[in-house]
Amino acid sequence: QNQKTREQIERLLQDGKHKELRERLCCRLSFGTAGLRSAMGAGFCYINDLTVIQSTQGIYKYLERNFSDFKQRGFVVGYDTRGQVTSNCSSKKLAKLTAAVLLAKDVLVYFFSTYVPTPFVPYAVQQLGAVAGVMITASHNRKEDNGYKVYWENGAQITSPHDKEIIKCIEECVEPWDGSWNENLVDTSPLRQDPLKKICDSYMEDLTKICYHRELNLQSSLKFVHTSFHGVGHDYVQLAFKAFGFQPPIPVPEQKDPDPDFSTVKCPNPEEGESVLELSLRLAEKEGARVVVATDPDADRLAVAEQENGCWKVFTGNELAALFGWWMFSCWKENCSQDADVRNVYMLATTVSSKILRAIALKEGFHFEETLPGFKWIGSRVKNLLDNGKEVLFAFEESIGFMCGTSVLDKDGVSAAVVIAEMATYLQGQGLTLAQKLVDIYEMYGHHISKTSYFLCYDPPTIKRIFERLRNFGGPQSYPESCGVYNILHVRDITTGYDSSQPSKKSVLPVSKSSQMITFTFQNGCVATLRTSGTEPKIKYYAEMCALPGHSDRSVLEEELQKLIEALIENFLEPAKNDLTWRSA
């Protein structure tokens, strides 16, 4: 019933573009590391009115089977500020259709009256006792994309087998039901409730559980600049700073209000570093602010930059995790009860992230665990640990996703921004910058030097061929034993479940057949992973050199890592032969 997307298909038909029609209509969306994500537009593998209705009908069917009290407990719906005129598609409209499907079936729906950060949806699911929730967002993806992120009753993103079962249910009911198209139901149905005030107030109150130096914050002279990247973050980060006793951060005027075209940045991903932080760094210089915090468009990720001696340092996700890990453990140690047991304390990271938390855990006596890439795995595991009486302080993924505390079982840029502000304020009182403290942490726990980047590849058969070559390198079913001059000690292949380091040769982490991921452990102590992105057409590489405390000349480690990465790219990815585009090109 969407005239614009209907016209897109009709035009392709008239122009005889059968190949594109086949691509758009002959495959369905599937759940990746962040739910359903694709370009907005016509077709069953795109995000549009119809595919969102179909997905919600499938979810309704699945939840009805699993929860006898589904209609009473309800369902949460949130959305960001994305939109596309050419397909008459916006996050708010897709959220209204999501709600309509459920309201028409007499389900109580908690529908936010305005855009919210992604973390508000999992938080609301837990606070309101709902059975599930959906956030309409494509996070930091390009402006053409949108997505549909599903959270289970435990407040974590859905994992297997729920995702597979929901896909089956979607395929069982692709015809829209009566009422499914009625987006006005959110304005007229008595079953629709607006949770905005309750959830926002409760979230800000819960945030103070991880505020340890309110007195310092109230007196702080340190200035902060915040950019929300044309997304949802501005109002909520302002409130979070207020909750911690800070003066509000200075917003970047050109980027503080929602703009679905992200008109001042090349791409709306703060992970890209200085090139996309240009406006905020210039404003900070003008205002005399030493620290910049940047939330991505749906405010679940955080980038941080700090000025020292006239130069800006943009921290990597792994460096920020070292700071957060040190900070959250130090604050726990200072504030825990006398009988608290450090062996009951946990921190988590995804397997492609830095091992710095492992090093801190080994020295301090708490537990460190790894999960598969994607916060959906972290959220589920954290819930499991909490249910078993454990205390989880912090979890992260290297792509600037951080979870401080356990009020939200997903990455949260709003809470991370204000925790960094408190950390910087505390360190200023000690005469230290964030960068100086980072050096201290690495000297205490051992240098961890990592590099992460990616190549773009729009041809799925090429990606498959690259990984299959690695699985049959010297012959059938034999992995490489070296990469250039670097000897390989162990290989772990998450796609097939193989791990040469295990006596059984089976991976301890769950198998993930839907994505490609191989990790190589080298004799020189480097760990490198090649994997496909769950949300974009990328082959990513991650490499890290880990040194023991006191055993490291940083420049030697950096040089060794750089040479190994070059060998990895040349021997395993072969960009020229495979027509791959490097990220900076």
Q: Report residue 552's pLDDT band, with 50, 70 and 90 as the boundaries.
A: low
CATH number, domain containing residue 519: 3.30.310.50
3-state helix, strand, coil in the chain (%, to 5): 40, 20, 35
Q: Are strands 486-493 and 498-499 parallel, antiparallel or unpaired?
A: antiparallel
Q: Which of 424, 380, 105 is nearest to 284 (CA)?
A: 424
pLDDT at residue 584, as a whole number: 58
What's the whole-number mean pLDDT along residues 34-49?
93
> Tokens 């122009």 label which residue?
15
Q: Which two tokens stand for residue 131?
A: 């059975």
> Is 189 an annotated catalytic residue?
no
Name, in order, each residue with C-beta under 8 angstroms of 547's C-beta and a sequence gap of 6 or more. Answer: 446, 447, 448, 525, 557
pLDDT at residue 548, as a whole number: 83
What's the whole-number mean pLDDT along residues 226-237?
98
Half-sphere CA count of 140, side-chain side, radius 13 A: 24
- Return phi, psi of residue 84, to 5°: -145, 115
Q: d(Cα 335, Cα 300) in Å, to the nearest integer?
A: 27
List strand residue ranges (DSSP E) for 405-512, in order.
448-456, 482-483, 486-493, 498-499
> Which has the minimum average pLDDT: 66-70, 203-207, 553-557?
553-557
Q: Which of 147, 80, 157 is nearest to 123 (CA)?
A: 157
Q: d(Cα 261, Cα 380) in Å, to the nearest integer?
A: 34
What average pLDDT is seen over the chain? Answer: 95
Residue 336 covered by a domain: no
What's the whole-number mean pLDDT along residues 36-56?
96
Q: How many helices (H) and strands (E) does the chain have?
A: 20, 25
Give the single-character DSSP code of 246: P
Name, in order, each residue with C-beta under 8 angstroms of 27's C-beta and a sequence gap of 6 or more. Answer: 44, 45
| 122 close to 153: Cβ distance less than 8 angstroms | no
Q: d(Cα 118, Cα 109) in Å, to the nearest integer?
A: 17
Burial label for 96, CB within 10 Å (0-12, 13-18, 19+), is buried
Give the single-character DSSP code of 510: P
pLDDT in tens, 405-430: 999 999 999 999 999 999 999 999 99
What's the whole-model pTM score? 0.94
What's the whole-number mean pLDDT along residues 18-39?
89
Partners of 75 in the β-ladder: 109, 132
> Which has the minimum average pLDDT: 80-94, 97-111, 186-200, 532-546?
532-546
Residue 499 covered by a domain: yes
pLDDT in tens, 244-260: 999 999 999 999 999 99
pLDDT in tens, 478-498: 999 999 999 999 999 999 999
* Angle at 312 (CA atoms; ends 293, 422), nearest 5 degrees: 35
Residue 273 covered by a domain: no
Residue 381 covered by a domain: no
Q: d(Cα 45, Cα 26) in Å, to the nearest integer?
A: 8
List strand residue ranges (DSSP E) for 129-222, in order.
132-136, 145-152, 192-193
Half-sphere CA count of 237, side-chain side, radius 13 A: 37
Indicate the residue among 199, 234, 258 that finishes a domain. Answer: 199
Q: d(Cα 56, Cα 35) in Å, to the nearest integer?
A: 13
Share of residues in the chain with pLDDT > 90 (%): 91
> Which has the minimum average pLDDT: 90-94, 159-163, 414-418, 490-494?
159-163
Q: Give the H/E segment covering residue 283.
A: helix 278-287
pLDDT in tens, 562-571: 999 999 999 9
Q: Does residue 25 sit in helix, strand or coil? A: helix
Q: Which of 331, 303, 307 is nearest to 318 (CA)?
A: 303
pLDDT at residue 504, as a whole number: 96
- Return phi, psi of residue 105, to 5°: -105, 20
Q: Which of 519, 516, 450 is nearest to 488 (CA)?
A: 519
The number of folded domains in the chain is 2
pLDDT in tens, 330-369: 999 999 999 999 999 999 999 999 999 999 999 999 999 9
Q: d(Cα 545, Cα 557) in Å, to the nearest integer?
A: 7
State which residues form the domain around 126. 3-199
pLDDT at residue 585, as a whole number: 39
Residue 541 covered by a domain: yes
Indicate the residue among 161, 180, 199 that finishes a domain. Answer: 199
Q: How far apart are the first and last CA of the chain?
A: 41
Residue 578 covered by a domain: yes
Cα distances from 366 to residues 37, 345, 394, 533, in angstroms, run: 36, 5, 12, 31
| 83 close to 89: Cβ distance less than 8 angstroms | yes
Q: Which of 260, 296, 264 is nearest to 282 (CA)?
A: 264
Out of 38, 87, 90, 139, which one is annotated catalytic?
A: 139
Cα distances from 558 to residues 165, 210, 341, 543, 552, in angstroms, run: 46, 35, 37, 11, 10
Q: Report residue 269's pLDDT band, with 50, 70 and 90 as the boundaries.
A: very high
Q: Does residue 385 sit in helix, strand or coil? A: helix
Q: d(Cα 38, Cα 60) in Å, to the nearest integer?
A: 22
CATH number, domain containing residue 107: 3.40.120.10
Within 10 Å of residue 238's Cβ, how many Cβ atoms? 17
Q: Are strands 109-111 and 192-193 parallel, antiparallel or unpaired?
A: parallel
Residue 400 covered by a domain: no
pLDDT at residue 167, as a whole number: 93
Q: d(Cα 414, Cα 241) in Å, to the nearest integer?
A: 9
Residue 432 covered by a domain: no
pLDDT in tens, 499-547: 999 999 999 998 888 889 999 999 998 999 999 987 788 999 999 998 8
Beta strands across the sheet bearing 145-152: 36-39, 145-152, 132-136, 75-79, 109-111, 192-193
Q: Which of 333, 578, 325, 336 is nearest to 465 (CA)?
A: 578
Indicate the residue among 199, 220, 251 that finishes a domain. Answer: 199
For helices 196-207 and 120-128, angle between their N-to-C axes, nearest 10 degrees = 100
